């Protein structure tokens, strides 16, 4: 028991003073492309991550999307009808989360480290708005519901993706981005874990944004919303008029 506690203390110390300071060149990571373009024909895409490490160890890669506040609502029965009655807001949650690892997570490192570095959806930091006023069991239920709903939408990965080693130190992995992937700035965080400790971390950024006509329409509709509305009406009036003319000739 004593021995265990000493080890635990030692591990905590390592976490607090990250070991990767020893060797910042232990891990090199690059994305195949640093931006994903969404055009009108976007049907989902993949992000490829390549990297090398300079000594034996395991690799975990996390891709997480733009962080925003998120609200989860719970329906309950009112006169037989199901209606949203209760809601819980979560601060600063990623809109997209996916991860890959070279081995089972519990074989790579301890639960504490997974929690600290927010590896796997279940370890994402939960910060509930006005948490004092919400029962603990409800907090757990709503948190579970958030993860479940996000997974159902394909925006949080249900299982880990595979990190493949092409030789002893060169690895690659890929993340699938579904057609409903949120736009915004993403982070690819790569962890080099040796003997259960985080040895080096590298962060790459990925930008997912609309391009071309699609992006022009989006920004125009925000900047000149009144003109945009009038143009939409104009388009509708014009196509309605043409269609009416054709109809009357038939």
Partner 1 sequence: MLIYLPIAEMAVPADTIFVVSAVVGFLSGIFGIGGGFLTTPFLIFSGIPPAIAVGTQASQLVASSMAAVLGHWSKGNVDVKIGSVMMIGGLAGSVVGTFFFLLLEKLGQTDFVISVLYIALLGTIGCLMLFETLSSFLIKKKAMRNEFNAMRLPTLISKLPYKMRFPKSKLYISALVPGGIGFVGGLLASILGVGGGFLLVPAMIYILRMPALLVAGTSLFQMIFTTAIATIMHAVANNTVDVMLALVLIIGGVFGAQMGVSVSKYVRGRMARLIMALIVLGVCIQMIGHLFIEPVDLFSIAIW
Instruction: Name the residues that contact partner 1, by CB under 8 A.
Output: 38-44, 70-77, 80-84, 87, 141-142, 145-146, 148-150, 152-153, 179-180, 182-183, 210, 213-215, 217-218, 221-222, 225-226, 228-233, 235-237, 239-241, 243-248, 250
For residue 99 the two structure tokens come to: 């991860």
Closer of 2 and 247 to partner 1 (Cβ): 247
Least Å from the CB of residue 107 to partner 1: 32
| Residue 170 bridge partners (DSSP) | 52
Closer of 18 and 178 to partner 1 (Cβ): 178
Q: SS3 for 104?
A: coil
Least Å from the CB of residue 214 to partner 1: 4
60: left (phi over 0), alpha (psi -120 to 50) or beta: beta
- Distance (Å, rounded) from C-alpha 236 to C-alpha 131? 48
Those residues with Cβ within 8 angstroms of residue 135's Cβ, 6 or more apart along the chain or in another chain: none
Least Å from the CB of residue 131 to partner 1: 17
Whose CA is closest to 59, among 156, 173, 176?
173
Closer of 131 and 231 to partner 1 (Cβ): 231
128 DSSP 8-state letter: B
Closer of 146 and 188 to partner 1 (Cβ): 146
Least Å from the CB of residue 59 to partner 1: 31
- Distance (Å, rounded) from C-alpha 50 to C-alpha 32? 7
Closer of 75 and 207 to partner 1 (Cβ): 75
For residue 180 the two structure tokens come to: 């409903």
Closer of 9 and 230 to partner 1 (Cβ): 230
Least Å from the CB of residue 122 to partner 1: 16
For residue 46 the two structure tokens come to: 């993949």
Least Å from the CB of residue 161 to partner 1: 22
């Amino acid at each position: 028991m004593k021995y265990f506690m000493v080890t635990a203390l030692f591990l905590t110390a390592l976490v607090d003073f990250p070991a990767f300071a020893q060797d910042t060149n232990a891990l090199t990571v690059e994305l195949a492309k640093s931006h994903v373009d969404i055009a009108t024909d976007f049907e989902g895409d993949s992000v490829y991550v390549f990297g090398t490490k300079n000594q034996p160890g395991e690799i975990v890669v996390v891709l997480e999307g733009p962080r925003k506040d998120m609200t989860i609502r719970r329906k309950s029965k009112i006169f037989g009808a199901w209606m949203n009655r209760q809601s819980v807001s979560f601060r600063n949650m990623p809109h997209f989360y996916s991860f890959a690892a070279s081995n089972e997570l519990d074989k790579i490192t301890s639960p504490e480290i997974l929690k600290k570095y927010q590896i796997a959806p279940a370890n994402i930091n939960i910060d509930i708005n006005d948490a004092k006023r919400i029962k603990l069991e409800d907090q757990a239920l709503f948190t579970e519901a958030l993860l479940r709903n996000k997974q159902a939408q394909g925006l949080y990965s249900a299982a880990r993706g595979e990190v493949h080693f092409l030789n002893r130190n060169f690895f690659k992995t890929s993340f699938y981005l579904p057609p409903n992937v949120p736009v915004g700035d993403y982070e690819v965080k790569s962890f080099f874990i040796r003997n259960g400790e985080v040895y080096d971390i590298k962060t790459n950024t990925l930008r997912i944004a609309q391009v071309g006509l699609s992006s022009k329409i989006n920004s125009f509709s925000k900047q000149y919303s009144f003109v945009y509305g009038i143009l939409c009406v104009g388009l509708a009036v014009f196509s309605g008029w043409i269609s009416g003319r054709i109809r009357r000739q038939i």
